[in-house]
Structure 1
Amino acid sequence: MRAFASTQFASQKRGFLRRKVPLEEMISYTSETITRPLMNLPREMTRDAVRSFQIIQRYMGNFDEEVSSKDKFNNVLWLANVGVRNQAMRDEIFCQLAKQVTGNPSSSAAENGWSLVGVLLYAFRPTQLFFPHLEAFVDSAPISTVTLKRFLNLQLGRVKRTGSRTSELSVEELHLALTVPSRPLVFGGSLGEIMANPELVNEATGLPCVLEQLTGLITSLGGDRTEGLFRVPGNGDTVALTRLQIEAGQPDFSGIHDPNVPASLLKEWLRDLADPLIPESMYDECMAKPADRDTVQSVLDRIPDTSLRVVKYLLGFLSNLLHPDVQASTKMDGSNLALVFGPTLLRNPVSDLKDVFANSSGEQTFVLTMIEIFST
């Protein structure tokens, strides 16, 4: 934040002698309101910038004035949608939040501020210039709970892929978004954490509810007759809303008619798991002999029981898509499916792009071998 502010914040002066306000003060908590934007924004945006800071103060609880729940909600809705409408305000809003969580004397107010960062990431993302600074700021911040920090990192990763919304956040969506920071993680949680929460598990099968819901929806919507299943993405807005409903514990699949929507969400759920189903410690072993059935079976025999249960269910589901009549409709054979699910079931511990590219065919081969084992 200091590096970003040193080049992007507007120079501010105060007092009779017009002394320059120190940078450390500009990026740290204040109990006072601001009278101008933190950043170099056009003059006509001053009113919105000042209003957004006051909304942040009220939401965090660092404002003396009492605010009703209705007014607080409407204020956040305005804040989210001013960022959707006005790209120049996006970094300003996140910088204001960063300022107010830095050195905040109230831990509960700081937690409210961090939660608001995550909620606003449902609406818009920072600019390319500011994004890495916000990532680093979140990564190094002393956030009170591990779950909240992981939620923020998950939100940053999601919005990095999807970008800002093109339509304004609705009342329904904001109600859902505001509940997510206090909810157990469905997307981005570890499988162990999910399985330890009765609300997220089907007691009868011992499987995560979201896994059965999404695969069941793919089947009921005719995914086995849909060309490009798992290759063609679902409608972005519908995928985002459905994911938000699942995260908020209020899934509603009644308006979904395209199997590509749950198919996209299934890939997201697997990709966002805190730990891959095949442990990273086994990755090199998997890449050494990806086509050898004995090697693949040996790996499966040694992964945790909960992971094995999910892997078996998923591979059973995928093997049903290999029937010749189904492949004729979906145009997705075993190699295509393995290419899609390779990076979701296996996670290369090395982030070097050259290494990632070199191992992609090995990941595909390993997953294809797993599918073939379960389809014979």
Structure 2
Amino acid sequence: SESSKKCDSVKNSKNSEDNLCDASSALKAQTFFFSPSSTTSLADLNNFGHHEKHHRFKNLRRSFNKTPKCTTDTKNPTSLSYMIQSSHSKLKLDIENYSPQLARKPSEANLLIIKKNQIDLNVHHEKLGGFLFFSSKKKIPDQDLMVWTSQTIQKPLIKTNNKVIKKEACDLFKLIQIYMGDRKTLINMTNQNSLKKSAPMFNESTFVQQLTAPCVNDSVCLEIMTKGWMHPQLRDELYLQIVKQTTQNLNVHSCLLGWQLMAVCLNFFPPTHKLYPFVKEYILSHLSESPECGMVAESSEFSTRLARTCLKRLEKINATGAKKGLKNPSMEEVLLAKSTILNPSLFGASLEEIMLVQRKKCAQLQLPWIQKVLSEAVLHLNGTKTEGIFRVPGDLDEVNNLKVRMEQLWCSSGDVLGDDLDILKNITDPHLPASLLKLWYRELYEPLIPHELYDECIENCDQAEKCLAIIKKLPYLNRMVFTYLVRFLKVFADPSNVAVTKM
């Protein structure tokens, strides 16, 4: 009899532990979606909008079926819900990392854009069970296909007959998962993983440091950029995979790293014209909607800043094209693309943004530092006596290298005007600073002459008085920069220089 009593007591204790786990799961779901004082039903889970097969909700649905509904009572230390809440505090990790702003489903409008532009998505299947010939599969709908997953993909998202692209697409998806911290590697190297464990709550200063500081995962980012740059057919696949992994991604840090990866990609190459409307619409959807929950306000605001950077880079690179040159992307370029996500770059920014940063570094300079340095470098390297100074381009790879060095100096702390020409001391070809100067003017986010004055300039280009009147209409900063440019070109317009430069 005593042995049977012991067995009964063991069974009861085991059942109580199971009930406690089930109740804790139910409480987790309850505190996850609703206020602490509300009750929860299975219908509430379905109404949340997540796919019923989502692996993170299978256990929660099972818990709701087994466990009676309960409410949290934090005022009563003896209540079951209070004991569950205190003894299972680790369950709140995903709750604190959750961000509805980052976890929205792709809209039907976005999927229509894909079909309208004749982008054929591959048919993917989900295994339902069985073995070998007896296994069964289920087709995954397109709108569920474009949702975050922890699993690998067996084929590209976009249909292709290229065997190389098929293999590269699957490898690329694994690299994206590694970079975002969603996939384990043989070496426990990612700063993201350690950040998730040490800082469950979103901390902007910590995450900003992680975004801008070099880390071991930068080599993964470089490999992704190299694949996209070497295989133009892979670029649309890359952007679709990033959209997939940033849709309904319940981990804030993972999702923000996905947005960071998109911003870095947009620094090197654009999507094709077919996919461009979809990518733009997806980015705009994260700018137009406001946060749904107060506890994720900081992360939602941060995601909006990342999305705004992605939009600017998308519009810029769609107009200018992919990175020029023969050399693959370098680690320096990747690090620079990361560091300029939250800080305005010298290239592609507006004059106001450049001067706002410059005032903190050197308030006495009234013109953009890069305009002054490159203009003086062209004159210093005897550009006035060089044939075709503004017609013959410099070596593209050397121009890219000079661009990276100037951006690095610009992003570094301290006075950027310590010694202007030191950065150009090893350069002997005046075509390099001349090409970079033209690139800077061309990539200004807003043109030096506003669009509304363009037609007026063309119509009155041979009438000096009307030209002066147009210049007076320019904003003050634009007028200062334009005046400096005219003085600079006036040197080359001297007849003695024209005879040599043939410009």
Find the partner of 1:72 among 202, 207, 217: 217
Kindly tell me: are residues 288 and 43 of structure 1, through their superposed partners in 2, closer, same or farther at Cα, counting changes over 3 Å?
closer
Kindly tell me: are residues 151 and 110 of structure 1, through their superposed partners in 2, closer, same or farther at Cα, counting changes over 3 Å?
farther
Find the partner of 1:149 among 311, 315, 321: 311
Return 127-136 or 280-289, whichever deviates more. Answer: 127-136
Is the 2:157–2:237 Cα contact (8 Å) retained in structure 1?
yes
- Whether 1:311 aligns to 2:482 is yes
- Whether 1:274 aligns to 2:445 is yes
Structure 1: give runs of 5+ residues left out of the alignment: 333-376
Name 2:236's counterpart in structure 1.
91
Take 1:156 and 1:109, find their aligned partners in 2: how far apart are those partners?
27
- Whether 1:197 aligns to 2:357 is yes
- Cα deviation, residue 325, structure 1: 1.3
Kindly tell me: are residues 200 and 91 of structure 1, through their superposed partners in 2, closer, same or farther at Cα, counting changes over 3 Å?
farther
Take 2:454 and 2:348, find their aligned partners in 1: how far apart are those partners?
20
- Cα deviation, residue 55, structure 1: 2.2
- Percent sequence identity over aligned pairs: 29
Name 2:471's counterpart in structure 1.
300
Take 2:484 and 2:341, find their aligned partners in 1: how far apart are those partners?
29
Superposed, 1:83-122 pairs within 5 Å as 83-106=228-251, 108-122=253-267
Find the partner of 2:170 among 30, 46, 50: 50
Is the 1:117–1:152 Cα contact (8 Å) retained in structure 2?
no
- Counterpart amino acid of 2:317? Q
Is the 1:200–1:209 Cα contact (8 Å) retained in structure 2?
no
- Counterpart amino acid of 2:371? L
- Cα deviation, residue 330, structure 1: 0.8
- Counterpart amino acid of 2:225? A
Name 1:289's counterpart in structure 2.
460
Kindly tell me: are residues 43 and 320 of structure 1, through their superposed partners in 2, closer, same or farther at Cα, counting changes over 3 Å?
closer
1:153-190 deviation per Cα after TM superposition (whole angstroms, max 9, x unaligned) = 32333335x56x53322333333333222321322222
- Cα deviation, residue 255, structure 1: 4.2
| TM norm structure 1 | 0.75
- Counterpart amino acid of 2:375? T
Kindly tell me: are residues 309 and 7 of structure 1, through their superposed partners in 2, closer, same or farther at Cα, counting changes over 3 Å?
closer
- Whether 1:60 aligns to 2:180 is yes
Is the 1:290–1:296 Cα contact (8 Å) retained in structure 2?
yes
Return 141-150 or 289-298, whichever deviates more. Answer: 141-150
- Counterpart amino acid of 2:120? Q
Count of residue correspondences: 330
- Counterpart amino acid of 1:177? A
- Whether 1:206 aligns to 2:206 is no
Return 261-270 or 323-332, whichever deviates more. Answer: 261-270
Is the 1:58–1:67 Cα contact (8 Å) retained in structure 2?
no
Superposed, 1:259-270 pairs within 5 Å as 259-270=430-441
Take 1:12 and 1:317, find their aligned partners in 2: how far apart are those partners?
60
- Cα deviation, residue 193, structure 1: 1.9
Is the 2:266–2:310 Cα contact (8 Å) retained in structure 1?
no
- Whether 1:25 aligns to 2:144 is yes
Find the partner of 1:222 among 379, 382, 388: 382
Name 1:325's counterpart in structure 2.
496
Superposed CA RMSD: 3.1
Superposed, 1:123-134 pairs within 5 Å as 123-126=268-271, 130=275, 133-134=278-279
- Counterpart amino acid of 2:126? R
Take 1:128 and 1:275, find their aligned partners in 2: how far apart are those partners?
22
Take 1:195 and 1:123, find their aligned partners in 2: how far apart are those partners?
25
- Counterpart amino acid of 2:122? A
Name 2:320's counterpart in structure 1.
158
Take 2:264 and 2:401, find their aligned partners in 1: how far apart are those partners?
13
Name 1:233's counterpart in structure 2.
393
Structure 2: give runs of 5+ residues left out of the alignment: 1-109, 129-135, 192-214, 288-302, 413-422
- Cα deviation, residue 26, structure 1: 1.8
- Counterpart amino acid of 1:25? D
Kindly tell me: are residues 106 and 214 of structure 1, through their superposed partners in 2, closer, same or farther at Cα, counting changes over 3 Å?
farther
Take 2:461 and 2:164, find their aligned partners in 1: how far apart are those partners?
60
- Cα deviation, residue 307, structure 1: 1.7
Is the 1:122–1:159 Cα contact (8 Å) retained in structure 2?
no
- What SS does the aligned partner of 2:217 have? helix
- Cα deviation, residue 99, structure 1: 1.6
- Counterpart amino acid of 1:13? H
Is the 1:201–1:209 Cα contact (8 Å) retained in structure 2?
no
Take 1:128 and 1:280, find their aligned partners in 2: how far apart are those partners?
23
Take 2:374 and 2:346, find their aligned partners in 1: how far apart are those partners?
13
Return 120-129 or 205-214, whichever deviates more. Answer: 120-129
- Cα deviation, residue 323, structure 1: 1.3
- Cα deviation, residue 51, structure 1: 3.2
Is the 2:326–2:397 Cα contact (8 Å) retained in structure 1?
no
Is the 1:14–1:21 Cα contact (8 Å) retained in structure 2?
yes
